[in-house]
Structure 1
C-alpha cells in the first residue's frame, strides 16, 4: 500500500460487522483511555506493542485493518507501523472517537465488553439461576451440603475468595466439578469477581447436564463485599486431577453441548489447510493450563486457558469474523469453550481426538516479531558498575506500570512508548540513557525513538530487567519517577481488596445496562440459548 493510509468511515465498519466479514478494528490507544469509551468491537491494540503482537494477533497479512483513536494522531502512526510490517489493507477511521459518536455509533466503557455484554444477554435468555451473597452466606452458616467453585484465574482467586471456595477456572468446570461434587444432592455455587464468569460457568454446568443443583453467586465477590461479608485471602485450594472415567464422561457431555451450539470438528489434516491463512484468518488456541501446554502442545497453537479466552476474546482474537480452532487432550475443555465462542458468533472448530504424539512441541510460546532496529547495547554488569560509579546516566523502563511499581532497577524512570516525546521532556538531562523493560523486547523498539528526542547517547540494556536480576541486581518498588501518566492499564473496579463501594456498585449498574447497549448497537450477532442435555 502507499504511504498514505486508507480512509475508513462508520458505514464501512458497520457493513463489515453486519455482514460478518473479517475486519480488525483496532483501538490503538492505551488501555485506560480505551476503557473510557470505544466501539463494541474495537479491540484494544496499543500502538506501543504493534511490533510485538501484530504477527501473533493478526495472522493474515491481507486482512482489512482499521486503526482507531481519540483524535490524537495515534491511529495514523499505527497505520504506518502496520504498513511497514507488510500488512496490505490498512486504513484509519476518520475523525476518531468524536466521528464515531457523530455518526450515531454506540460507545462502551470498561474492558472485554463483548464478552461481558454476551454474559448479560445469556443470563436473560437462559434464566441462569443465582443466589445473593446473603443467601449463600446463610447456606454456609447452616452447614448445607455444597461446593463453591471460583471460575477466575488462580492468581485472582489467591487475592480474594469466598470462604471455602475452590479454584476451578471456567473451562475446567465441566471436567472437574463432577468429582468435587459426586453426590447429586450437593449444591454447586459458581463465583467470579463480578458477573460474567460466574454466569457462564453456571450455565456451562447446566448445559452439560450436571445432576446437581447449580447456581451463580450473584455479583460475585463484589456482591459479597457490598453485603459487608468477609473474604478469604491467599488461599491455595485448587481442583484435583480428574480420573479417566470422569474425563471420558465430561468429554461426552461437552461434545454434545458443542454440537448443539454449532461447533465444527476437524482433524490434523485440516489444520494444515487452515494454517495457510489464505483468504481466511485462523486462530489456534490450546485451552489447557499453561503447565500442560509447556509439557507438550500442537505446533502453532497459542496457550490460552479456555475460560479466559471466553472472557477476553478480543484481546487474543482481534479479527472479528475470523475462524477459531481449539484443542485439548481430553475433549471437554475445548468443546465447552467452543460452545460459548460459537454462541458469540465465531466460526469455531475443535481438533478431535489428537493423538498424544501430535503434541510434539514443548516449552512456552515463542512470539513472532520483526527484527528490532540496532541500538548500541550495555550489559547488566556494565550498567551496575556505571551506577555504582555515579556516572551521568538515566535508566528508562518501558515496563507496564503495574510491573514497574512492583519492581524496577533502582533509580529508573517509567515511560510509555506511545507517549515517548512527552516522556522525554520529563526525563532528567543525562549524558547517557539506558533503555529497558522486563525482557528487552519492547525496549529494543523504543530505544531509537527515544534517541530522536534526547541529546544524550541511548543504550539498550541487553536482556532487559531479567538480565539485571540474573546478574544479581536488586530491584526497588514504588512509583516515583513517572515520565508518563500510567494509562497503560485500566484499574478494574473488582480488582484487589480496596475498591470503593461506590465504584463496585457503579460497575454492577453498568453491567446491567449492557443489554440495552447491545440492542442499540445492533452488530453483535450473539446467539445465547439453553443447550441442556
Structure 2
C-alpha cells in the first residue's frame, strides 16, 4: 500500500478537524519524554505492533506517524500495513519539521491529561491545603480523612504516613463506607497535582457535603516541605459496600449522569455502539479485580477510573474515539465520562446493575494481526551457536539488562536493526519477550535475514553453561533510550527534579496555542456548597 506523506502544517490541521485520528509517535520513550506534539501518543517502534493494536483497534482508522525525521516512521508504516491498517500517513521531516513550523513541543508524559488537570484547577479552584497546614493538623490531632488517589503500586513507592490508598473513582463510589460522616474534612493527595485536583472535583461533582481539599503538590510538595515519606506500604483491600451504600452509589450515578447529560446505555445499546462501522470503540471495565472476576466481561479493558483520566494516552490512541465506560452502579463510569469527554472523547456509561446478571456486552475480535515470533531455540543450542559466531541480540527492556546480561550478547533497540548486525551476518539469536522479538524478526526477514528466539531466563542460560553477569550495571541516559528520563528521579529525593516537575505541570496551560486550548472541553462541576 502507498503511505501518504504530509507536511507538519497539514498534520496539525488534521488533528483539529474533529474526526477520529491516531497520532502515533514512534520514537522511543526517552525522545518522547524530552518533547512531542501535544496530542501525539507514545507508540515506540520497539513495541510497535502490540502497542498499536491496543491503542488503535480499528483497521481503517486514520493513522498519522511522527518520528525524528530518521526514517523510522517509514519502517513503522510498512509494519502497520502488514498488521492490516489501511489508512496511514506520516509527517514529512518528523518532529524537527514540526518544531521548525512553529508548532508546540511538550516535554513529559500524559500531557493532555496533565493539561486538563491544570485547566480544571484554573476553572474550578478546588480547595487546596499545603503541606505545612496538613502537618499542623496532624500534630494537633485535628480530625480529617487523608486518601491517596494513586493505584496500590504507586502508593507502595512512597506515601504520607497514615494516608489510605483509595484511587480516584473508588473514593467517590465507596465514600459512605470510607468516611463515616458529612463533617470530617477530606484531603486527597497524589504524587504531584493532577489526581489530587481531579479527586477533589469528583467529590464536588457528586455533591459531597464534607469539606474537601487537594494536597497542594502532593507527596512531592510534602517532601519539599522537609516532611518524611513512608515507603513500602501495602494498600488495604478496597472497603466493601453494604446494600444501602451501593444504592447510594447508584443514586449518585443517575443524578450525575442526568445533570451532566452523560448518556447511559443498555448492554444491547453498548454492543451496537461497539459494532458501528467507521468508529473506533473502547469498552473499559472500571470495576475492581474482584468485581471483574465475579462477573467477567471478556474483551473489556480493565482500568481504574482515575488512571484512565490521568494517563489516557496509555489506553486510547485515537482522538475523538468512542469510550463506553462500564462498572456496576454507574458512578465510577459517570465520573470518568465527565473528564474524558473534556479530553474530546465521545463517552457513554454502562451500569451492569441495570442489566440481568448473565447479560454482559460482547466485544468483537479485531481483524488486525501481529507478527508471530520466530522459532524458539533452547539455551544450550543458542550458546553453541553464539560460540560459533552467530550474533546474540538482547531486545529486553534496559532495566532488565541492568539486572543480568549474557556474555557476548549486544543490547539494542529494534530501530537499530539490521544496521547493527556484524557485516556478513545472515542470522541472529534474539533474546526477549515474544512480541518484541516478533517485530524485530519481521524486520530481519524483510532484509533477507533469519532469526531464532531465545526465551530463556538467566538461570536457564547459566545452567546451559552460558556465562551470565548478574551484578547490577547502570546504563547511561544516552544508552537507555527505551525509558523516560524527564525528571525521572523526582520521587527519589532529588528536590530540584521535583521543583522542575511541578513547574512543568503548572506551565503546561501557557504552552497551548488557540486550537489546542479549544480542544479541551468544560467539566460541569458545581461550586462548593
Which band: TM-score by shorter chain? 0.7 to 0.9
Q: Which residue does the alignment assign to 2:121? A: 123
Give the structure-2-normalised TM-score.
0.88
**Is 1:405 equivalent to 2:402 in the alignment?**
yes
Q: What is the CA-CA distance between 1:494 and the residue it aligns to? A: 6.6
Q: Which residue does the alignment assign to 1:271? A: 270
Q: What is the CA-CA distance between 1:116 and the residue it aligns to? A: 0.2
Stretch of structure 1 that moved more, 394-403 or 130-139: 394-403
Q: Which residue does the alignment assign to 1:323? A: 322
**Is 1:136 equivalent to 2:167 in the alignment?**
no
Q: What is the CA-CA distance between 1:340 and the residue it aligns to? A: 1.3
Contact 2:257 2:264 in 1 (8 A): no
**Is 1:396 equivalent to 2:390 in the alignment?**
no
Stretch of structure 1 that moved more, 90-99 or 496-505: 496-505
Distance 1:273 1:218 in 2: 43
Contact 2:64 2:90 in 1 (8 A): yes
Distance 2:233 2:505 in 1: 28
Stretch of structure 1 that moved more, 199-208 or 46-55: 46-55
Q: What is the CA-CA distance between 1:285 and the residue it aligns to? A: 1.0
Q: What is the CA-CA distance between 1:110 and the residue it aligns to? A: 0.4
Q: Which residue does the alignment assign to 2:509? A: 515
- Deviations 1:361-411, CA, capped at 9 Å, x for gaps: 99xx9998635356332135755x859x97767653322223443566687
Q: What is the CA-CA distance between 1:529 and the residue it aligns to? A: 3.8
**Is 1:419 equivalent to 2:389 in the alignment?**
no
Q: Which residue does the alignment assign to 2:499? A: 505
Cα RMSD after superposing both structures: 3.4
Q: Which residue does the alignment assign to 2:432? A: 437
Among residues 158, 161, 167, which one is paired with 1:160 in the alignment? 158
Q: Which residue does the alignment assign to 1:306? A: 305
Q: What is the CA-CA distance between 1:430 and the residue it aligns to? A: 9.5
Q: Which residue does the alignment assign to 2:173? A: 175
Distance 2:282 2:303 in 1: 11
Distance 2:224 2:366 in 1: 42
Q: What is the CA-CA distance between 1:524 and the residue it aligns to? A: 1.8
Matches within 5 A, 1:338-417: 338-352=337-351, 353-359=354-360, 370=369, 372=371, 375-379=374-378, 395-406=392-403, 413-417=410-414
Distance 1:8 1:432 in 2: 36
Contact 2:19 2:319 in 1 (8 A): yes
Q: Which residue does the alignment assign to 1:526? A: 521
Distance 1:194 1:423 in 2: 40
Matches within 5 A, 1:43-82: 43-82=41-80
Stretch of structure 1 that moved more, 92-101 or 209-218: 92-101
Among residues 12, 15, 18, which one is paired with 2:16 in the alignment? 18
**Runs of 5+ in structure 2 lacking a partner?**
none
Q: Which residue does the alignment assign to 2:102? A: 104
Cα pair distance change 1:411/1:369, threshold 3 Å: farther
- Deviations 1:259-295, CA, capped at 9 Å, x for gaps: 3333211111123222324011111111223454355
Distance 2:410 2:179 in 1: 51
Q: What is the CA-CA distance between 1:253 and the residue it aligns to? A: 1.6
**Is 1:478 equivalent to 2:479 in the alignment?**
no
Q: How many residues of Structure 1 are paired with residues of Structure 2 in the alignment?
A: 521
Stretch of structure 1 that moved more, 372-381 or 199-208: 372-381
Stretch of structure 1 that moved more, 509-518 or 157-166: 509-518
**Is 1:185 equivalent to 2:179 in the alignment?**
no
Distance 1:18 1:483 in 2: 34
Q: What is the CA-CA distance between 1:26 and the residue it aligns to? A: 1.0
Distance 2:15 2:72 in 1: 23
Among residues 91, 102, 107, which one is paired with 2:89 in the alignment? 91
Contact 1:415 1:484 in 2 (8 A): no
Distance 2:459 2:287 in 1: 30
Contact 2:491 2:498 in 1 (8 A): no
Distance 1:208 1:519 in 2: 32
Distance 1:219 1:484 in 2: 30
Q: What is the CA-CA distance between 1:466 and the residue it aligns to? A: 10
Contact 1:24 1:65 in 2 (8 A): yes
Contact 1:296 1:361 in 2 (8 A): no
**Runs of 5+ in structure 1 lacking a partner?**
none
